[in-house]
C-alpha cells in the first residue's frame, strides 16, 4: 500500500512537472504566434470554433442562472418585505461568481472536451508526430492558437453570460413577480460596483487559459486507442472543473484583499 | 553477429551504440548502423522488435536513452526542438497509417510543409507543385478529397506525396505495404523504386513484408529483440545461417512458439462450448 501511495505521489509530481513545462512552452509559442501574422488565420479559425459557436450555450446558461436565482430568492426576501432588493442579490451573484464560473464550466464541457478529443485522436493516429516530422513545432501550430483563442474569448463569453443572467433575473422579477422596475434597478446600481463586474470578467482570462491548457495537455498525452481518448476527455473535464473552482477561490481571497486595501482611496481611483 | 564500430562519417545517417528503454523494457539494445547515401536500406523484423522506434530516432521523434544519432556527420539527437526544424525538412516520413491531417483536404495536406517553411506568394506554382507530386504517386485529381474518403492504399500514396513535398534527401517509410492488398503493395514498392531512381533519395524502409524487402532493398538489416542479427544484401539474407532469420524470411513458426502453443492445452481441452460457462 505504501508502495502504491509512493508511486502515485511520484506520478503526480511528474505529471505536474510535465504540465508546467507544457505550459511554459505554450506561452513561449504564443508569444511567437502573436508576432507572426501568417499564423493569425489559425487563431481566427479557433476563435470561431471556441468562441462564436459557444455563444448560444453560454447565453442560455446565464439566462437560466438569473431566472432561477429570482425564483429561489424571491420567497425569502418577500417574507421580510425586501423583495425590491432582489435585483442587487441576483445581479451581484451573477456578475461576480455565478456568471463567470458557470460560463467557464460550460466551456470546459463544450470546448475542453472537443479539444482533448481532437488532439487526442491526432495523437493516437500519429498526426502530431507528422506535424513534428515536417519540422513544425506542434505546440506552436496546434496548441498556441487554441489557448490564445480560449484565453481571449472567455472574458467576452462571460460578458454574454452576465448580460443574459441580468436579463433573465429582470424578466422573472419584474414581469412575473411584479417587482417595481425602478426600485429593482436602483438597488442594483447601488449594490453592484464596476469592481464586481471587472473582477468577474478578469477571471475569464484565467479560466479560459486553464481550460485550454489542461485540455490540450491531456490530448497531447493521451494513451493509445478509443479508451485512451475517452479517459483523456474525462480527466480533462474533471481537471478543468477543479481548476476553475480552485482558481475562483484564489481570486476570491486575493481580490478581497486588494479591494480592502484600496477601499479608503476608492474615491481617488 | 560481431558488433561493428561505426563512425559519424561512415554514412549519411549514423546511429552509434543506440539504446532505448521504456521503463525497464529495453527496446533497442546498443544498435550501431550507418545508412549509405542514395541507397535503399530495409529494416525487417518481427512486430515489436523496435524497428519503428529505431526509425523515429533517426528524425529525433524519439530521444535515445544512450548512444547518439548523426546526420551528415553532425550529432542531432541532443539538439533542442527549435534547432531540429531545418534538419527535419531534409527528411520525408511516411507513417504506417498515413497520418494525414483529417481536417484538411489532400491539397492542403501536401502544401502544409511548404507553407510552414516558406512564405508562399505564387499559389499557381504551388498548385502545379501539388499536381506534380500527386501525379508522381498516381493520385492527381484527388486534390479536393478529404482523407476519410480515401482507401488505405490511396492514403499511403498521398502521405508519400506529402513526404516528398519539400524535396527531401531522405525518405523514411514505416511499414508502407502493411494492410494493403498484394497489387496495391506492389504499386507502393514500384513507387519507392521510382522515387529512388528519379529523385536520387536515400530511403529507409521498415517492413515485415519479405516480397517488398527483396524487391526494393539494396541492403537488408534484420532486428530481433532490439538487436541487429543480420545485415547484407537480399542474397546474403536469403542464405543467412541464423535460424531466426530463416524462420522470419520463410514465415515459419519456431520451436519455441510451438512449445508455447502446446502448453496451452490439448486440442480437446481448448474446445470449450458456451454452456461450459453457465
Whether the predicted pLDDT of A165 surpasses 80 = yes
Q: What is the pLDDT of residues B191-235, one digit of tens each?
A: 889 888 888 899 999 998 888 899 999 999 999 888 898 888 888
What is the band of A54 on the pLDDT scale with cuts at 50, 70, 90?
very high
CA distance B178 to chain A (A): 15
Q: Do A134 and B82 touch (CB under 8 A)?
A: no
Read off the pLDDT of each residue in A49-53 and give the average, rounded to a whole number: 90
Give the pLDDT band of residue B4 (cuts 50, 70, 90): low
Phi-psi group of B10: left, alpha or beta (phi > 0 → left; psi -120 to 50 → alpha; rest → beta): alpha
Q: Kindly report the number of other CB atoms within 10 A of residue A260's CB atom.
A: 9
| Whether the predicted pLDDT of B1 surpasses 60 | no
Mutate which of A135, A137, A142, A224 to disrupt the B interface (most B C-beta within 10 Å)?
Answer: A135
Q: Which residue of A has its CA nearest to B115?
A: A38
Q: How confident is the model at residue B128 (pLDDT cuts 50, 70, 90)?
A: very high
DSSP SS3 for A135 = coil
User: Does pLDDT of A188 surpass 90?
Assistant: no
B268 has a pLDDT exceeding 70: no
| DSSP helix/strand/coil, B121 | coil
pLDDT surpasses 80 at B270: no
Question: What's the helix, strand, coil split of chain A in %, to 5?
Answer: 90, 0, 10
Put simply, the chain B residues between 9 and 68 with a CB less than 8 A from any chain A CB are 56, 59, 61
The arithmetic mean of pLDDT across residues A114-122, rounded, is: 93
CA of B120 vs chain A CAs: smallest distance (Å): 10
Taking the C-alpha atoms of residue B110 and residue A144, their distance in angstroms, rounded to an integer, is 22
Query: What's the confidence (pLDDT) of residue B97?
Result: 86
- pLDDT score of B262: 74
Q: Which pLDDT belongs to residue B120?
A: 82
Condensed to tens digits (0 to 9), the pLDDT of residues A71-89 reads 988 888 888 888 888 888 8
Alpha-carbon span B55 to B33, nearest angstrom:
11
B96 shares contact with chain A (CB less than 8 Å):
yes
Mutate to test the interface with A, among B113, B161, B168 (most CBs of A within 10 A): B113
pLDDT at A263 over 90: no
d(CA B77, CA A228): 29
In chain B, residues with a C-beta closer than 8 Å to the C-beta of A135 are 84-89, 113, 116-117
| Closest Cα in chain A, distance from residue B268 (Å) | 35
The whole-number pLDDT of residue A148 equals: 93
Closest residue in A to B80 (Cα) is A137
Does the pLDDT of residue A206 top 90, yes or no? yes
Interface test with B, best of A32, A126, A130, A224 (most B CBs within 10 A): A130
* Banded model confidence at residue B263, pLDDT cuts 50, 70, 90: low
Percent of chain B with pLDDT over 70: 95
Among chain A residues, the shortest Cα distance to B116 is held by A136
Query: Is A135–B117 a contact, with Cβ atoms under 8 angstroms apart?
Result: yes
pLDDT (tens digit per residue) in B36-80: 898 999 999 888 888 899 999 999 999 999 999 999 989 999 998
Q: Give the residue among B213, B163, B170, B195 at the shortest CA–CA distance from B36.
A: B170
Contact A135/B116, CB-based, under 8 Å?
Answer: yes
Interface size A-B, in CB pairs within 8 Å, comes to: 54
Q: In what order do the strands lie in the sheet with B170-174?
A: B91-94, B170-174, B202-207, B40-44, B219-224, B227-232
Q: Which residues of A touch chain B, with CB atoms under 8 Å apart?
A: 38, 122, 125-127, 129-130, 132-137, 141
What pLDDT score was predicted for residue B243? 85
- The C-alpha atoms of residue B77 and residue B19 are separated, in whole angstroms, by 12
Is A132 in Cβ contact with B99 (below 8 Å)?
Answer: no
Closest approach of chain A CAs to the CA of B237, in angstroms?
A: 31
B93 and A135 within 8 Å at the Cβ level: the answer is no
Q: Is residue A168 pLDDT above 70, yes or no?
A: yes
Residues of B in contact with A32 (CB under 8 A): none
Give the 3-state secondary structure of residue A224. coil
How far apart CA B52 and CA B44 sit, in angstroms, is 10
Radius of gyration of chain B (CA): 21
Distance from CA of B137 to the nearest CA of A (A): 19
- Tell me the three cell numbers of residue A46: 479557433
pTM of the entire structure?
A: 0.85
CA distance A228 to A235: 10
Averaged pLDDT for residues A97-107: 92
- Measure in Å the smallest separation between the Cα of B113 and chain A Cα atoms: 6
The pLDDT confidence band at residue B173, using thresholds 50, 70 and 90, is: very high
Mean pLDDT of chain B: 87
What is the 3-class SS of A98-115, one letter each residue? HHHHHHHHHHHHHHHHHH
Whether the CB-CB separation of B227 and B46 falls below 8 Å is answered with no
Amino acid at each position: 500500500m505504501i508502495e502504491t501511495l509512493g508511486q502515485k505521489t511520484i506520478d503526480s509530481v511528474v505529471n505536474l512537472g510535465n504540465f508546467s513545462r507544457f505550459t511554459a512552452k505554450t506561452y513561449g509559442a504564443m508569444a511567437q504566434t502573436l508576432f507572426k501574422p501568417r499564423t493569425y488565420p489559425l487563431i481566427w479559425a479557433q476563435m470561431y470554433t471556441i468562441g462564436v459557436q459557444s455563444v448560444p450555450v453560454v447565453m442560455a446558461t446565464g439566462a437560466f442562472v438569473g431566472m432561477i436565482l429570482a425564483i429561489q430568492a424571491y420567497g425569502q426576501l418577500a417574507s421580510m418585505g425586501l423583495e425590491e432588493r432582489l435585483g442587487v442579490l441576483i445581479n451581484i451573484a451573477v456578475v461576480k461568481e455565478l456568471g463567470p464560473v458557470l460560463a467557464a464550466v460550460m466551456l470546459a464541457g463544450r470546448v475542453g472536451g472537443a479539444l482533448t478529443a481532437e488532439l487526442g485522436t491526432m495523437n493516437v493516429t500519429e498526426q502530431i508526430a507528422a506535424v513534428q516530422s515536417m519540422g513544425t513545432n506542434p505546440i506552436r501550430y496546434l496548441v498556441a492558437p487554441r489557448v490564445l483563442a480560449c484565453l481571449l474569448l472567455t472574458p467576452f463569453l462571460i460578458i454574454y453570460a452576465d448580460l443574459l443572467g441580468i436579463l433573465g433575473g429582470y424578466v422573472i422579477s419584474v414581469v412575473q413577480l411584479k417587482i417595481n422596475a425602478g426600485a429593482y434597478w436602483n438597488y442594483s446600481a447601488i449594490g453592484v460596483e464596476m469592481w464586481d463586474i471587472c473582477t468577474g470578467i478578469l477571471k475569464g482570462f484565467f479560466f479560459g487559459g486553464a481550460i485550454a491548457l489542461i485540455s490540450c495537455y491531456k490530448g497531447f498525452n493521451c494513451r493509445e486507442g478509443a479508451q485512451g481518448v475517452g479517459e483523456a476527455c474525462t480527466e480533462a473535464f474533471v481537471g478543468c472543473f477543479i481548476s476553475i473552482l480552485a482558481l475562483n477561490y484564489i481570486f476570491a481571497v486575493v481580490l478581497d484583499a486588494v479591494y480592502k486595501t484600496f477601499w479608503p482611496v476608492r474615491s481617488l481611483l | 553477429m560481431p558488433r561493428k564500430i561505426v563512425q559519424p562519417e561512415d554514412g549519411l545517417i549514423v546511429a552509434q551504440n543506440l539504446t532505448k528503454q521504456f521503463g525497464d523494457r529495453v527496446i533497442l539494445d546498443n544498435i550501431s548502423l550507418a545508412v549509405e547515401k542514395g541507397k535503399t536500406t530495409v529494416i525487417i523484423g518481427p512486430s515489436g522488435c523496435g524497428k519503428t522506434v529505431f526509425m523515429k530516432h533517426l528524425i529525433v521523434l524519439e530521444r535515445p536513452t544512450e548512444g547518439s544519432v548523426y546526420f551528415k556527420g553532425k550529432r542531432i539527437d541532443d539538439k533542442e526542438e527549435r534547432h531540429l526544424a531545418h534538419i527535419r525538412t531534409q527528411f520525408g516520413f511516411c507513417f504506417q497509417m498515413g497520418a494525414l491531417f483529417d481536417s484538411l483536404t489532400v491539397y492542403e495536406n501536401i502544401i502544409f510543409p511548404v507553407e510552414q517553411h516558406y512564405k508562399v506568394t505564387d499559389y499557381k506554382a504551388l498548385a502545379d507543385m501539388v499536381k506534380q507530386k500527386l501525379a508522381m504517386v498516381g493520385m492527381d485529381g484527388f486534390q479536393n478529397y478529404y482523407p476519410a474518403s480515401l482507401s488505405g492504399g490511396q492514403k499511403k500514396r498521398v502521405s508519400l506525396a506529402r513526404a516528398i513535398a519539400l524535396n527531401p534527401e531522405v525518405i523514411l517509410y514505416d511499414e508502407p505495404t502493411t494492410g494493403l492488398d498484394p497489387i496495391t503493395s506492389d504499386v507502393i514498392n514500384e513507387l519507392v523504386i521510382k522515387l529512388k531512381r528519379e529523385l536520387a533519395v536515400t530511403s529507409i524502409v521498415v517492413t515485415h513484408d519479405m516480397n517488398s524487402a527483396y524487391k526494393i532493398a539494396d541492403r537488408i538489416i534484420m532486428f530481433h529483440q532490439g538487436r541487429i542479427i543480420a545485415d547484407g544484401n537480399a542474397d546474403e539474407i536469403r542464405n543467412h545461417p541464423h535460424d531466426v532469420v530463416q524462420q522470419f524470411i520463410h514465415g515459419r513458426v519456431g520451436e519455441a512458439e510451438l512449445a508455447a502453443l502446446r502448453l496451452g492445452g490439448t486440442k480437446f481441452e481448448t474446445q470449450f462450448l458456451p454452456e461450459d460457462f453457465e
